[in-house]
Amino acid sequence: MLKNRLRAPALLAIGLASVLTVSACSASPSGPSDSSAKTLVIDKSFDLKTTDPGRAFELTGSIVDKAIYETALDFEGSDVTTVVPGVATYEENEDNTVLTLTLDGEHTFSDGTPVTADDIVFSYQRVQGIAGNPSFLLDGVTVAKTGDDTVTLTSATSNPALPFILPNPSLGIVNSKLLLANGGSTGADDDAEAFLNETSAGSGPYMLEAYSVTTKVTLKLNPEYAGEAPAYSRVVLENVEGSTQKINVQAGAAQVALDLNADQVSDMGDGVNVVKNVSPYLIYSWFNQDAAVSAGVTNQPDFLKAVRQGIDYDKILSIAGEGAVQPGGMVPSIFTGALKSDPSNQFDLDAAKKALAASGYDGEEVTFSYPNDITVNGLQMQTLAEAIQSQLKDVGITLTLAPGPIATFLDAFRAGTLQSGIMYWGPDFPDPSNYLVFNPGQSLGLRAGWAAGTNEAVTAAAAAATAATGDDRVAAYEAWQTAANESGPFVPIVQPGQYAVTTPEISKLELNPVWTINVADIK
């Protein structure tokens, strides 16, 4: 039997993390219902590197690309449990190895040309060929045009998560003819990024008007958009720190603030709307296992034990504020298979000191890197890094803080050349299989020097989780995380509280675990 819609067992409860609708309570929306002369200003702490969907894989980039590019499949609002059509509908075979997309023929790029099956094939093969950060989304998937309006995706093994992967903004459909004329290709020689940072090549509700990775991104309406026109004709996404975001939204200089922390939200006063929830973003530390990078320190098992037991997680939660939780493993608390707690990640100062003594550590400085120009749901990485440095000092570990701007930090982190540090991970798709990238030999594992074949127990547990179906997935993913916590280089630190603050004129804003907000849906 073929399936056209698929229910996901990924979220523990929709109301826990994804249905977040703001209703204005102190004023009605201002201005007319059409978008003729309305500008929406959104304050966000940027982690932006590019608007090229084949390369963008940061939170801010997802917000921008969601506005510019449509995807083959989509989620409606904040509900990520049901896949809905985007530019196409889909059908799957029984063993989840073949997925067929059928275009509805109603979507048009901003230059007036129709979205075709060739554009989908080009877009997906380009993501694969570039081999950038989003490429793993289509690992093991063969993409082929199988009809004038059909594209078939064939997976090497059962791939039940694929329909939930395709809505990711990094898989946005680009205008293949336009890109081919401007340096685009489906191989490593693709040279269209600079073009896409200046020109829109999508069929989404907005087009790129101005772009800066450090100051702001401005979007304007796409006159060829096939869907319902957004409420705002222009969107300005500003790069603003949390303290300034608070001032701006209170003064009405911005209508939306996305990075306020618990303390800032607690005394906002009247005249604003506040949504609170547990964030889907997980903040973690890593300690490099590559002998050439670890300096013979961070790759020692007992050193890792000392770190895990030397962090006072309750104090971290108090810093993070209301709504924050301690994740038991790398899968956030809102997803199937999340660990509620794990003995490997519990504060025990005496045990931490004993483990450190057994590790052979002799006071060497350990470089602890992190981006210092961003906040994650209002929580500053600088604040967390300083707290961890202080707590591990009590154990006897000397962390030397090495902050840097996100743009330069990411290059070194992704190259696997940093000894240790703190970073965050947002879900690419709403399923625990997304977090298998933290395995040995996988993309995140390699950033921590965790090479393939270095930990057979964790690798075997991951394979069992991948193969599990139905209710068995919960126990399988819990077992995988338990194994990783016992010997792996990643330490789950905190899931912050998530807050969105709006001015009274905003009557609707929904948070989504994959792209944070869809600016076209804000009213």
In whole angstroms, give the CA distance from residue 280 to residue 219: 26
Q: Cite the DSSP H helix spans in 146-241.
A: 162-165, 176-180, 193-196
Residue 160 has a pLDDT of: 84
Residue 31 has a pLDDT of: 35
- Cβ atoms of residues 77 and 522 within 8 Å: no
Domain ranges, ordered by start, for the chain: 14-260+498-521, 282-495
Region 452-458 average pLDDT: 96
In whole angstroms, give the CA distance from residue 190 to residue 173: 16
| pLDDT interval class at 36 (50, 70, 90) | low
DSSP string, 349-387: HHHHHHHHHHHT--S-EEEEEEESS-EETTEEHHHHHHH
Region 459-479 average pLDDT: 91
- pLDDT of 223 above 90: yes
Q: Is the pTM of this model over 0.85?
A: no
| pLDDT interval class at 279 (50, 70, 90) | confident
- pLDDT of 32 above 70: no
pLDDT in tens, 288-339: 999 999 999 999 999 999 999 999 999 999 999 888 999 999 999 988 899 9
Q: Which of 24-28, 183-187, 348-352, 408-412 has the lowest mean pLDDT?
A: 24-28
Q: Dmax of the chain from CA atoms? A: 69
| pLDDT interval class at 12 (50, 70, 90) | very low
* Helix (H/G/I), strand (E/B), else coil: 209: strand
- Cβ atoms of residues 367 and 315 within 8 Å: no
- pLDDT of 86 above 50: yes
Rounded to 10 degrees, the C-alpha dihedral 403/404/406/407 comes to -160
Which is higher by pLDDT, 183 or 158? Answer: 183
Residue 148 has a pLDDT of: 97
Residue 506 has a pLDDT of: 95
pLDDT in tens, 360-400: 999 999 999 999 988 888 788 999 999 999 999 999 999 99
Instruction: Region of 470 please: left (phi>0), alpha (psi -120 to 50) or beta.
Output: left
Percent of residues, the chain, with pLDDT higher than 90 = 77
Q: Residue 206: enclosing H or E segment and its boundaries?
A: strand 206-211
Cα 26 to Cα 2, 262, 267, 271: the distances in Å are: 48, 22, 17, 6
- Cβ atoms of residues 426 and 456 within 8 Å: no
In whole angstroms, give the CA distance from residue 84 to residue 167: 9
Q: Residue 216: enclosing H or E segment and its boundaries?
A: strand 216-221
Parallel, antiparallel, or unpaired: how do β-strands 98-103 and 88-92 relate? antiparallel
- pLDDT of 493 above 90: yes
In whole angstroms, give the CA distance from residue 189 to residue 260: 41
| pLDDT interval class at 274 (50, 70, 90) | confident
- pLDDT of 518 above 90: yes
Residue 277 has a pLDDT of: 76
Q: What burial class does residue 382 get, using C-beta atoms within 10 Å of its C-beta: 0-12 exposed, 13-18 middle, 19+ buried?
A: middle
- pLDDT of 15 above 70: no
Residue 356 has a pLDDT of: 98
Residue 426 has a pLDDT of: 86
Rg (CA), the chain: 23
| pLDDT interval class at 17 (50, 70, 90) | very low
Residue 242 has a pLDDT of: 86
Q: For residue 303, what is the DSSP state?
A: H
- pLDDT of 205 above 50: yes
Percent of residues, the chain, with pLDDT higher than 70 = 93
| pLDDT interval class at 428 (50, 70, 90) | confident
What is 282-495's CATH number, 3.10.105.10, 3.30.70.20, 3.40.50.300, 3.20.20.10?
3.10.105.10
303 φ, ψ (degrees, to nearest 5)? -65, -45
Q: Which of 81-90, 263-272, 341-350, 505-514 has the lowest mean pLDDT?
A: 263-272
Averaged pLDDT of the chain:
91
Residue 362 has a pLDDT of: 96
Residues in Cβ contact with 292 at an 8 Å cutoff, skipping those fewer than 6 apart: none
What is 14-260+498-521's CATH number, 3.40.50.720, 3.40.50.150, 3.40.190.10, 3.40.640.10?
3.40.190.10
Q: Which of 96-100, 123-127, 426-430 has the lowest mean pLDDT?
A: 426-430
Selection from 151-160, 215-224, 421-430 with the highest mean pLDDT: 215-224
